[in-house]
Amino acid sequence: MYDITIVGGGIVGAATAYKLQIKYPNLKIILIEKEPHLAEHQTGNNSGVIHSGLYYKPGSAKAKTCVDGRKQLVKFAQEYNIKHEVCGKVVAAVDESETEFLNKIFENGIANNTEGIEKINADQLKEIEPYVKSIGGIWVPCTGIIDFRGTTEKFAELLLAKQSNSKVVLGEEVLDYVNKGEFTEVITSKNKYQTKYMIFCGGLQADRLAKKDGVKLKEKVVGFRGDYYDLTDQAKHKVKNLIYPVPNPAFPFLGVHFTRMVNGDIECGPNAVFTFKREGYGKTDFDLKDTIDALSYKGTWNLLLNNFGFAYNEYRRAFSKKLFLQTLQRLIPSLTMDDIKPGRAGVRAMLLNEQGDTKDDFRIEYKDKSIHVLNAPSPAATACMAIGDQIAEMAKTHFHLN
């Protein structure tokens, strides 16, 4: 019998398990992940950025947990030798039309206690990133890069070191969970487990796991694939650290940016296209159930119709290296076709309401003997330790932990 079962071995699930185990050393916790490795989906396929807290509405869960989580994450990485670097980034404005929103996110950063940020002019920005053409922007020194897979694995390792009766299970998909009164029986593709309480950190499957548990959820998770290009060796010198555009306030994405990874590679991306498979990383990946689920939901159609021009351009760019390059050249005009090569892809889980709005805050809800992380898009990886703290507090109250 386990005290708590955590479903989902991404960074939020692993951080939650770690935080609970540290706070309650005697608890028997089991973390179940359907893939053969931890961090196989959103965690392991994002851009590896430690976000600063610049973009999020002051007072929101994203703003609070991002800043707190960032500080905890950097301290954790230092303590356990996780590959990382607090290298800073620039947000570069290309024309005057972006000035108003640039000022808005700067004010957000100040309100969110994003330390060290400053407005810089074009010459100052060029000193930091010599190949960027801009009219100025924001310098964000507390942004960094990190190995999120390594971080996730370290959380799991420390969980097991703290409590030998806890367990991390890989390669087992949770198929069902049946309330047996005193306990819940968790049925996986290979085994059955008994548990007192459950915490769901299912990411791309969060809505389905919640509905199976009887959570009344009007929204659906819709997946958006993001494709990346890598800079070739001849062009890596054109990006020192992190370069972001001023995001379009009408869309829930930060725009195509340049990211130096912890291994020295430079990634460019991602775009954002609706995907026909929630866990599909190829341009032509298709799953009938996922497609019917998404296209039978009016929120999907409202999103696509309300943003038709944006969606159309994103699809064109997904299949055209030339168009992708043109987007990159807006920030670094000297880039050529020979400077970029196709890279990997990731899929974001966005909880979409019926009006087609994806700008929802983090959502974590309690039901009977379970807690559901319903919406945890970016900056959830940065915020994972703060989210783990929040869930641990919810568990203390609702699971009567002591």
Tokens linked to 173: 């998909």
SS3 of the chain: helix, strand, coil, percent, to 5: 35, 25, 40
pLDDT digits (tens, 9 = 90+) for 325-365: 999 999 999 999 999 999 999 999 989 999 988 767 999 99
pTM of the model: 0.95
Torsion angle, alpha carbons of 382, 366, 356, 315, to 10: 40
Place of tokens 């770690």: 18
Strands 2-7 and 192-200: parallel
Phi, psi of 256 (to 5 degrees): -70, 125
d(CA 378, CA 2): 31
How far apart, in whole angstroms, are the C-alpha atoms of residue 383 and residue 362? Answer: 10
Whose CA is closest to 128, among 66, 386, 136?
136
* Domains defined for the chain, CATH in brackets: 2-44+149-219+360-398 (3.50.50.60), 89-141 (no CATH), 220-241+251-358 (3.30.9)
Neighbouring CB atoms inside 10 A of 287's CB total: 16
pLDDT for the residue 402: 83
Contact between 90 and 137 (Cβ < 8 Å): yes
* Nearest-angstrom CA–CA distance, 158 and 151: 11
H/E element, 10: none
Residues ≥6 apart with Cβ < 8 Å to 295: 301
Tens of pLDDT, residue by residue, the chain (402 residues): 999 999 999 999 999 999 999 999 999 999 999 999 999 999 999 989 999 999 999 999 999 999 999 999 999 999 999 999 999 999 999 999 999 999 999 999 999 999 999 999 999 999 999 999 999 999 999 999 999 999 999 999 999 999 999 999 999 999 999 999 899 999 999 999 999 999 999 999 999 999 999 999 989 999 999 999 999 999 999 999 999 999 887 776 778 999 999 999 999 999 888 899 999 999 899 999 999 999 999 999 998 888 877 777 888 888 899 999 999 999 999 999 999 999 999 999 989 999 988 767 999 999 999 999 999 999 999 999 999 999 999 999 999 998
Sign of CA dihedral 235, 241, 246, 247: positive
* C-alpha span between 251 and 168 (Å, rounded): 37
Of 30, 53, 65, 300, residue with least CA distance to 192: 30
- Bridge partners for 115 per DSSP: none
Residue 153 DSSP label:
H
Pairing of strands 144-146, 49-50: antiparallel
pLDDT, residue 175, reads 96
* Residue 307 DSSP class: T
- The whole-angstrom separation of Cα 328 and Cα 340 is 10
pLDDT digits (tens, 9 = 90+) for 198-208: 999 999 999 99
Residue with tokens 């370290």: 154
Closest CA to 358 of 304, 308, 293: 304
Give residue-wise pLDDT tens across range 207-257.
999 999 999 998 999 999 999 999 999 999 999 999 999 988 777 677 899
Res 252: pLDDT: 63
Query: Cα separation of 33 and 31, whole Å?
Result: 7
Measured between alpha carbons, how far is 3 from 124 in angstroms, rounded to an integer? 55
| DSSP H or E segment with residue 395 | helix 384-398
